[in-house]
Amino acid sequence: MRVNGVHYRTVWMEGGAVKLIDQRLLPFTFAISTCRTHEETAAAIRDMVVRGAGAIGAAAGFAMAQAALRAAEPSWSADLSRGADMVRATRPTAQNLFYAVDRVLRAASTDAPVEDRRRRAIAAAQAIADEDASAGQRIGELGQALIPPKASVLTHCNAGWLAFADWGSALAPIYRAHRDGKQVHVWATETRPRGQGAKLTAWELIQEGVPCTVIPDTAVGHLMRQQRPDLVIVGADRIAANGDVANKIGTYTLAVLAKTHGVPFYVAAPTTTIDRSCPSGAAIPIEERSGDEVVWAAGRLDNGNAGRVRVIAEGPAVRNWAFDVTPAALITAIVTEQGQVPATSNAIHHLLCETAGTTATPAA
């Protein structure tokens, strides 16, 4: 991640404290938030200080390491279990969060002296963040082959540096292609109601020097009909075993429009986002957030101060689903750090078996 030419990760651990880029303040203010306990880190995940599948997973892993640092020997298992329950309750959809909690919990539950268990928890959390960054880099290297020398690419929400420990998923191939000398222009949807595309993706692309244009979510159909991007590439918060994908609300709409207009639709995600215990998108829990995010728009006011304005009259009911599910049939391919695969049960099963070094029979 480059911020004014300086490399950062989105989340990292330093002396027992978790450091996070506060994504709520972007694009107008760049600031680092410090969480000194697992309770504070869990709150940061819940309150969207950090968001994005991989970044949530890295933060969750570090939160569990913090829980291990504070756990007492007589009540070790109970303390860790309470910490795990707290972190799991923050965001229900992103698979990386649950993967990270379970992995650190296993590392900290071995039969060893307490200090060894603490060191193992910290090492596991750091490994999760490092592997997430490496996976993003590899996705960039593999995915850039999908991008023509002169390319128009459409993306939705934010699946770049800020959404992962580093590099990202959907934006990683764009960054790699740009650094390799390809001429890439990115169309970024604003992504109502929180504006992750307008506030985060556009800011990232500017930092990297990639030309971009922000469009309203409702302009996607017109764009595809009039200017037909070469491809759509988005991230994922959870991928079911059959290839259905949960991602930011509005992704399903893009996929339907891409199918209608013959535009390839790719999903980029590390294998840790795949939930092999989830048979289809129908089983993915969809987070519904406060309606206030729809009623109020936050940003910079005319006087230069941060603030928010009400955009909906009082009275109507408001629903605010944070994610939707795109059926596998609408997805051209899934790009992972292990390679590109079709969004099918068999392909995903074989990918996971190769990753784990097993040859297990697919689940019924």
Residues serving a catalytic function are: 237
Token digits of residue 141? 């290297």
Q: Residue 16 region, left (φ>0) first, then alpha (ψ -120 to 50), else beta?
A: left
Unique residue bearing structure tokens 């899934």: 334
Three-state secondary structure of the chain: CEECCEECCCEEEECCEEEEECCCCCCCCCCEEEECCHHHHHHHHHCCCCCCHHHHHHHHHHHHHHHHHHCCCCCHHHHHHHHHHHHHCCCCCCHHHHHHHHHHHHHHCCCCCHHHHHHHHHHHHHHHHHHHHHHHHHHHHHHHHHCCCEEEEEECCCCCHHHCCCCCCCCHHHHHHHHCCCEEEEEEECCCCCCHHHHHHHHHHHHHCCCEEEECHHHHHHHHHHCCCCEEEECCCEEECCCCEEEECCHHHHHHHHHHHCCCEEEECCHHHEECCCCCHHHCCCCECCCHHHHEEEEECCCCCEEEEECCCCCCCCCCECEEEECHHHCCEEEECCEEECCCHHHHHHHHHHHHCCCCCCCC
